Amino acid sequence: MSNFISVAEARDMSGLRIVLTPGIPGPWSESAKGIFGVKKLDYAWVEQVVGGENLDLIDWTAQATAPVAVWNDEPPRATWIEQLYLAERLAPEPKLIPDDFEDRMRMMSFCHELLGENGFVWSRRLQILHPTMTNPEAPPEAQAFATYFADKYLYEASRAEKAPEHAAGFLRSLAAQLGTQKAKGSKFLIGDQLSALDIYWAACATIVQPLPHEQCPMTDDFRTMYSTVGPVIEAAIDPALIEHRDFIYAEYLTLPLDL
């Protein structure tokens, strides 16, 4: 595993620093690693403490989640879209945002529905929290962990109940897009070359179907949490989407957890 440095050390440095959560193949963190990795941009790995107070991180970036990308003394970038534009600026090639307007619009919509607020990964997180948040008998540690995420990421029971269908709708739409692209003879989700969406999908598929243990040695707790999706989502996982994830990892990405 790469050497993580503390926020305090990172603050004193210049260049590119990315705050990540060690040991967890989190969809947002793996998405950022994928984008900066494909562009062959070197960066210092900075530690976020999952479930922690992260006071130094709040002082530096005005928020406590990972990933965050910081370039020299520019404002810290804590959302996927700011990170994507930063990576595209620092290393224009390979280009991950299509030039074509229609392609770009479609790609950005899918990326937002995948990674943005109330999107696919966000919905999975609500779905994961729901059983513990509605079970007063759950062990206190589990309740504390769930409540931490629930408060931070705007959990509401009514939205969590709709989360499986919301996530399944995204998967059906992405599978249809992949099918359309294949029919046109493209190996990619948008246009005829790799785009940010291919990378983001590969990184985020873990939240419904993690890579096998040999490729992604996550803890059993996280593996169970990520892969317990329920029947609605299960029915929407088109095997072609998983094949696409595997193709993108094989051709373009290093494995999660930096093996």
Site residues for ligand GSH per CB under 6 A? 21, 26, 28, 50-51, 65-66, 78-80, 115, 152
How far apart are alpha carbons 107 and 44 in whole angstroms?
29
Nearer residue to ligand GSH within complex by CB, 79 or 209:
79
191, 98 Cβ separation under 8 angstroms: yes
Nearer residue to ligand GSH within complex by CB, 26 or 191:
26
Least Å distance, CB 65 to ligand GSH, is: 4
Torsion over CA: 92, 187, 121, 157 (sign): positive
> Which helix (DSSP H) or strand (DSSP E) does residue 159 occupy?
helix 157-183
Dihedrals φ, ψ of 69, to 5°? Answer: -110, 130
Least Å distance, CB 192 to ligand GSH, is: 27
Length of the chain: 259
241, 175 Cβ separation under 8 angstroms: yes
Least Å distance, CB 214 to ligand GSH, is: 24
Structure tokens that stand for 139 in this block = 């062990």
Chain residue whose CB lies nearest ligand GSH: 65
Least Å distance, CB 77 to ligand GSH, is: 9
Nearer residue to ligand GSH within complex by CB, 178 or 205:
205
Least Å distance, CB 162 to ligand GSH, is: 19
Least Å distance, CB 148 to ligand GSH, is: 7
Nearer residue to ligand GSH within complex by CB, 50 or 237:
50
How far apart are alpha carbons 210 and 195 in whole angstroms?
21
82, 41 Cβ separation under 8 angstroms: no
How far apart are alpha carbons 109 and 122 in whole angstroms?
15
Least Å distance, CB 241 to ligand GSH, is: 21
Dihedrals φ, ψ of 70, to 5°? Answer: -125, 125
129, 146 Cβ separation under 8 angstroms: yes
Nearer residue to ligand GSH within complex by CB, 77 or 244:
77
Nearer residue to ligand GSH within complex by CB, 79 or 143:
79
Nearer residue to ligand GSH within complex by CB, 93 or 117:
117
Tell me the helix, strand and coil percentages in the chain, rounded to 5.
55, 5, 35
How far apart are alpha carbons 145 and 235 in whole angstroms?
29
